[in-house]
Amino acid sequence: MPDTPRSSAPGLRADAARNRELLLTAAREAFAEHGLDVSMRQIAARASVSEPTLRRRFASKEDLVAEAFEDKIAQYADLALNALDQHDAGTALRQFLLQVMEMQLVDRGFADVLTTTFPPTMASEQHRRRSYQAVERLIAQAKDDGALRPDFVAEDLVMVLLAHAGVVAGGGHAAKAFSARLQVLLLQAIGLEPVGELPAAPSAGRVYHALMKLHDQMSTTSKPAR
Amino acid sequence: MPDTPRSSAPGLRADAARNRELLLTAAREAFAEHGLDVSMRQIAARASVSEPTLRRRFASKEDLVAEAFEDKIAQYADLALNALDQHDAGTALRQFLLQVMEMQLVDRGFADVLTTTFPPTMASEQHRRRSYQAVERLIAQAKDDGALRPDFVAEDLVMVLLAHAGVVAGGGHAAKAFSARLQVLLLQAIGLEPVGELPAAPSAGRVYHALMKLHDQMSTTSKPAR
């Protein structure tokens, strides 16, 4: 079978295109639940194909991730460009960050992809750069308006999204409550939001259970906790 | 071979104790580099044993993680208790948080363990609870002194450490620079540090290369980037 680098390539047979889409769907689901650390082997198993079959379509995990998230990264870039058209740069940047953190919250894979770069020739990287340039301008405008702390730079967007991804990845059932508090804290910290009270915190008991991350991974043959 | 749940159990032969220590060392190294997502299979391979051999010693990953990090969690609890003895609760809490984030920065596994709970009977969980009670008291004292925002609660320590772990896990070569900025932002946000300038940000070029996380994972047979 010839290599078919694009799902839209002319001449790609309909069943091959369908199979490719099934692989991408399996990959998107696995990434959304577990983040980008899922292995090619696990994705192949989820799609009920062998790993060599998966790798005939996507030679590397980087290829698979870039293509699985291409549409979402394009959406993200459009959000950034739309934010640039708003009248009030501070409010636009604030809304943009809240929207993006909401996208992180519902898709752990996308949360990681937002802080991942790709080789310059990939379409996903071109969307990412488009978004980056828009955010850079938005940040400059918000600073001009005095709506953002002056030492905040475009690279800090990555820091903010990495921090929020950490809460999404590790917070378990308390992730949503932690995310709501962290969003307010971070926006206040960078000057985008006036200092005010935080949303409700999760209870200690809820946090204890949410953070028992390794317990589900116990082998079925394991002895009871000592 | 009889099951030997404790490295200090009487009657455990010296070579068995040494083998157990070799497994724990391999696990600690793997966790430090890659975080807790490393599989039992990968740890067994690193220790040059079969996975069944590893599982004869540690029936579950939870057992292995709890034992591999028991000493570090005990150290962490001691740090929290020492902080309680200080005169100025705000300064003590600030120093404690900075020390703990430094421990996260050098060990990705420990960064994750700090936001992981274990069954109550495990020694690691008992250390964790000891630290939690100390931090709860420290937070109450710092609030009484007006050194901390009044809506900050003990559970927020988890949120702060999850956010910082996200930067450590995903920041690549820029993790240290992002961490330094996030530490200041978070401490200022919760009121522990007066608002002042942030440490230097990493450059855009450095961030681009640091975030090319998936590129190293490319298969050796992969085609060049399109």
Question: What's the rounded Cα separation, in Å, for the pair B211 and A3?
Answer: 28
Q: Give the percent of chain A with pLDDT over 70.
A: 90
Q: Length of chain A, please?
A: 226
Which pairs count as long-range contacts for A46-51, CB under 8 Å and 24+ apart, including other chains? A47/A22, A47/A23, A49/A23
Average pLDDT over residues B54-70: 96
Q: How confident is the model at residue A56 (pLDDT cuts 50, 70, 90)?
A: very high
Please report where in the chains the tokens 């938005």 appear, as a residue: A138
pLDDT digits (tens, 9 = 90+) for A97-152: 999 999 999 999 999 999 999 999 999 999 999 999 999 999 999 999 999 999 99
Q: Give the percent of chain B with pLDDT over 70.
A: 90
**A201–chain B Cβ distance below 8 A for any pair:** yes
Half-sphere exposure of A54 (CA within 13 A, CB side): 26
Average pLDDT over residues A73-79: 96
Question: What's the rounded Cα separation, in Å, for the pair B59 and A105?
Answer: 33
- Is the pLDDT at B6 greater than 70? The verdict is no
- Chain A CB contacts of B156 under 8 Å are 181, 201
pLDDT digits (tens, 9 = 90+) for B88-115: 999 999 999 999 999 999 999 999 999 9
Give the model's pLDDT for residue B8.
54
Question: What's the rounded Cα separation, in Å, for the pair B55 and B171?
Answer: 32
Give the model's pLDDT for residue A6.
52
- Chain B CB contacts of A221 under 8 Å are 55, 59
Q: Is A88 helix (H, G, I), strand (E, B) or coil?
A: coil
Average pLDDT over residues B73-100: 95
Question: What's the rounded Cα separation, in Å, for the pair B176 and B182?
Answer: 10
Is the distance from CB of B30 to CB of B43 less than 8 angstroms? yes
For chain B, the average pLDDT equals 89
Determine whether the interchain pair A170/B112 forms a contact, defined as Cβ–Cβ distance below 8 Å: yes
- Which of A51, A105, A214 is the best substitution to test chain B (most B C-beta atoms within 10 A)? A214
Interface confidence, given as ipTM, is 0.88
Q: Is B96 helix (H, G, I), strand (E, B) or coil?
A: helix
- Chain B CB contacts of A209 under 8 Å are 117
Average pLDDT over residues B64-92: 96
Q: Please report how the helices A175-189 and B175-189 are oriented relative to each other, as an axis angle in degrees rounded to 10.
A: 80
Q: What are phi and psi of B85, to 5 degrees?
A: -80, -10
Is the distance from CB of A122 to CB of A65 less than 8 angstroms? no
Structure tokens at A43: 């994705």
pLDDT digits (tens, 9 = 90+) for B167-223: 999 999 999 999 999 999 999 999 998 888 999 999 999 999 999 988 865 433 333
Is the distance from CB of B192 to CB of B177 less than 8 angstroms? no
Average pLDDT over residues A1-12: 53
